[in-house]
Amino acid sequence: MSTPLLDFDDVVCGYGDTMVLRGLAGAVGAGRVLGVLGRNGVGKTTLMRALSGFLPLQRGRVTLEGRDLARVPPQQRLAAGMAYAPQEDVVFGDLSVSENLWLHLRGRDGQRYAACLEAFPRLAERMQQRAGSLSGGERKLLSFTRTLGLRAPLSILDEPTEGVQPENIERMARLVAARKADGASFVIVEQNLQFLLSVADDILAIDHGECSLAGPASELPRETLEAHLVV
């Protein structure tokens, strides 16, 4: 890989006295996807929070385009080139679908969300509906749409397909592929192995906060990856 867009090394962090991540390292090049997998509770979401700045590092380094993010708070990381879609609390429930999409933007460029709204017409039909009244899968689609619409060089997606219908998961994969073709990069945590393998260039598997497997997705047997998801 040439100089990576995102680089993280020796990441150690946790909650209070509980250390969750134990020296994780990885990198993402421009126009590539790093897929992160592992069983529940092994540290995947903790890594996403650490990369996005919502969880401070006890040790280690995270850089974006060579810039050390240690002193960049979460609310400023979008300006630095990073968008983040968390696993939970994915929308502002009391706001409408439209407000969720436009509240954080100064202008309304209609093309920003055009591809996603064409792929997910139910969202386009529910622009004035309160986001909290959407189904769980629809809220995930709204979060996904908002994040891709930010057009950040790097997007971090934590379990984006959770609760989403299969046909929409296929559309999500096509939208990620289109952003990759434009040079955008992703870190995606996902339990849906079929979706992950359809978009990922590289894989990082986590077990007990440590790297248990890493390498190009095309070189890792599916059976080996499935073993990292089995309880």
Phi, psi of 210 (to 5 degrees): -125, 160
- DSSP per position, the chain: --S-SEEEEEEEEEETTEEEEEEEEEEE-TT-EEEEE-STTSSHHHHHHHHHTSS--SEEEEEETTEE-TT--GGGHHHHTEEEE-SSS-S-TTSBHHHHHHTT-SS--TTTTHHHHHH-HHHHHTTTSBGGGS-HHHHHHHHHHHHHHTT-SEEEEESTTTT--HHHHHHHHHHHHHHHHTT-EEEEE-S-HHHHHHH-SEEEEEETTEEEEEEEGGGS-HHHHHHTT--
pLDDT of residue 104: 81
Query: CATH homologous superfamily for 6-90+139-227?
Result: P-loop containing nucleotide triphosphate hydrolases (3.40.50.300)
Question: Within a 10 A sphere around the Cβ of 121, how many other Cβ atoms?
Answer: 9
Mean pLDDT (whole number) for 33-50: 96
**What ranges do the domains of the chain cover?**
6-90+139-227
Query: 160-184 pLDDT, tens per residue?
Result: 999 999 999 999 999 999 999 999 9
Query: 184-220 pLDDT, tens per residue?
Result: 999 999 999 999 999 999 999 999 999 999 999 999 9
Query: 85-118 pLDDT, tens per residue?
Result: 999 888 999 999 999 999 888 777 778 999 999 9
CA atoms within 13 A on the CB side of 104: 14
* Edge-to-edge order in the sheet of strand 18-28: 18-28, 6-15, 59-64, 67-68
pLDDT of residue 231: 64
Query: How many angstroms separate the most distant Cα atoms in the chain?
Result: 47
Query: 117-140 pLDDT, tens per residue?
Result: 999 999 999 999 999 999 999 999
Q: Is the CB of residue 193 less than 8 Å from the CB of residue 222?
A: yes
